[in-house]
Amino acid sequence: MDSGAIHPDVEETCAAIESMEIRGAASIADAVARALRTQAVERDADAPAAFRETMYEAARRLEATRPTAVSLPNALRSVLSEMRGESVGELRESVVAGVDDFRSRLESARGDLGRVGANRLADGDTVMTHCHSTDAMACIEAAVDRGADLSAVVKETRPLKQGHITATALADLGVDVTLVVDSAARQFLDDVDHVLVGADSVAADGSVVNKIGTSGLAVNARDRDVPLVVAAQTIKLHPGTLRGETVPIERRDESEVVDAETRAELGDVDVANPAFDVTPPRYVDAVVTEHGQFPPQGVVGLMRDLFGEDVEAVWRE
């Protein structure tokens, strides 16, 4: 153990989140909680105030990695609000306990959410997915566990094609999978019973911030009378939106959209790469959480119950 600023393992976690080696709102939350644990265990301090500061510094670095998934600051808040004690040892122990508690709640929330979402999925149904969401997967896994025979139309999800992760995971579950390019989605909607997506943030008005392309899919689904279900553990609820904050939309590097050779051939054009978009609540049929299923209009009440006024980010300067 030594004293100093951010532990190298925490920096490694940050780099993995930035490069999206670690991705997905829940996985990011889990990773930052583990990083706080490492920081607490591996970094020493000669006084409680200095220990708190080293934890806050790590939290600020972790928070700066990706801006859109509110599960990240929610994880930091959940752990750091439990940091208490009169000595460095007590503070350290409280962080470790806070992380362990947070991670076990994350795990059980996923199972509880899956059991709720599975109630929507009947034997023989076809589900359309976008990107890769562990919360959406939990619903399908639970339905399959109950014996439902499901099919899936999986959108590849440009630019990083996380739909491929979903396709393989669903096929491994025994789901009959058809992978399609994003622009083919509308053509397949007539054969689909549910559109099931995850979320990076859910705002107080029930708007859903999720992988780019979700909002267009939602409009098409409504046009075809296919319900849009959002699987989102409550760590995806954005408490700042209760106070009028908006959710920042991450814009990622153009190299994810075009390779260097193509970039050169394109000449003088701008390449934009927004990673997320906002689906207005009127296109959302249900938000499935570990506490049950809610209409988008019900999110604000759930948010007040869970967060109240307790949305302080103690680690920020």
Q: How far is the CB of 98 from ligand RI2 (least distance, A)?
A: 20
Cβ-in-10-Å burial (0-12, 13-18, 19+) of 317 comes to exposed
Q: How far is the CB of 42 from ligand RI2 (least distance, A)?
A: 26
The reply to whether 131 belongs to the active site is yes
Question: Which of 169, 226, 230 lies closest to 199, judged by CA?
Answer: 230
Of residues 42-71, which lie at the interface with ligand RI2 (CB under 6 A)?
none
| 229 SS3 class | strand
Rounded to a whole number, what is the distance in angstroms from the first to the last CA of the chain? 26
Instruction: Candidates 23-31, 41-49, 253-261, 279-287: pick the segment binding ligand RI2 (CB under 6 A).
Output: 23-31
Nearer of residues 127 and 131 to ligand RI2, judged by Cβ: 131
Mark 98-137 with x for binding to ligand RI2 (rule: CB under 6 A) and - for no binding: ---------------------------------x-xxx--
Nearest 5 degrees, angle CA 257-CA 260-CA 266? 75
Instruction: Candidates 18-26, 96-104, 258-266, 286-294: pick the segment binding ligand RI2 (CB under 6 A).
Output: 18-26
In angstroms, rounded to a whole number, what is the distance separating the alpha carbons of residues 87 and 159?
48
210 binds ligand RI2 per the rule CB under 6 A: yes
**Signed CA dihedral, 145, 227, 169, 236: sign only:** negative
- Residue 144 structure tokens: 């399959």
Judged by CB under 6 A, the residue of 6, 10, 14, 25 near ligand RI2 is 25
Instruction: Candidates 3-11, 24-32, 114-122, 217-225: pick the segment binding ligand RI2 (CB under 6 A).
Output: 24-32
Nearer of residues 7 and 132 to ligand RI2, judged by Cβ: 132
Question: Which of 128, 127, 106, 98 lies closest to 232, judged by CA?
Answer: 106
- Residue 314 structure tokens: 């103690």
- Residue 263 structure tokens: 């970039």
Q: How far is the CB of 5 from ligand RI2 (least distance, A)?
A: 27
**Residue facing ligand RI2 at closest CB distance:** 198
The residues annotated with a catalytic role in the active site are: 131, 200
